[in-house]
Amino acid sequence: MYARAIFTAFLLLIGAANTVAADNRDYFALHYSAVNYEDTSLGESLEFKPTALVARMGSFINRYLAIEARFGFGLSDDAITTSGNSTLLGAYSGNIGYDIKNLFAVYAVGNLSVTDRFDLYGLLGYSSVDADISFGLTTAKYGVSSLSGNDTENGLSYGFGAAIEIMKNRSLNIEYISYLDKDEFTLGGVNLGVLFNY
């Protein structure tokens, strides 16, 4: 529901941008994302490194500001073997897996052209991430447990990056994105991709 409302607002802003700026530049990019998910809910830091494919679509309102939407899905999951002691489970050991199903984000993008071919940019906006989490644990309180579930989290998102033009209207870009930053977990990624202006 929230994603639909934000996407509608995004389309309206794109329409406004097209009427305000005659020299508006639209763009599309495809990114490979090396994701890092760190969870501290069990009392220790558990780190997962899944991957995702992310598409970016945006439009410049003027030379310094763009509005952008992103859609992505997981390419590979990650699982770790862990053991420890928590208030919730007591002593535990076993496997935990994390798999991104899809993600959605919308950003305001501030852009600075350092040269004719090199840009720096920062992003601030909202993201929603849907993921599957699986547990195969032996615990002191509950014995052997196998559990999987789906979780959707959303919130403030931000990042920064750089793009260098390799040919007319084609750029390589690299960026860091913090998709979510919560009390018990963080989700971010380093993205590498190709950007097309049109």
| pLDDT tens for each residue of 29-54 | 999 999 999 988 777 788 999 999 99
DSSP-assigned letter for residue 169: T
For the stretch 57-98, pLDDT in tens is: 999 999 899 999 999 999 999 998 887 777 777 787 888 899
Q: Quick check: 24 and 59 in contact, CB under 8 A?
A: yes
Q: What percent of the chain has pLDDT over 90?
A: 62
From the list 53, 58, 36, 174, the residue with the least C-alpha distance to 102 is 53
Q: Quick check: 39 and 46 in contact, CB under 8 A?
A: yes
Encoded tokens for 158: 């931000």
| Structural domains in the chain, sorted by start | 2-197 (2.40.160.20)
For the stretch 124-174, pLDDT in tens is: 999 999 999 987 878 777 777 777 889 999 999 999 999 999 999 999 999
Q: Whole-structure pTM over 0.85, yes or no?
A: no
H runs (alpha helix) in the chain: 2-20
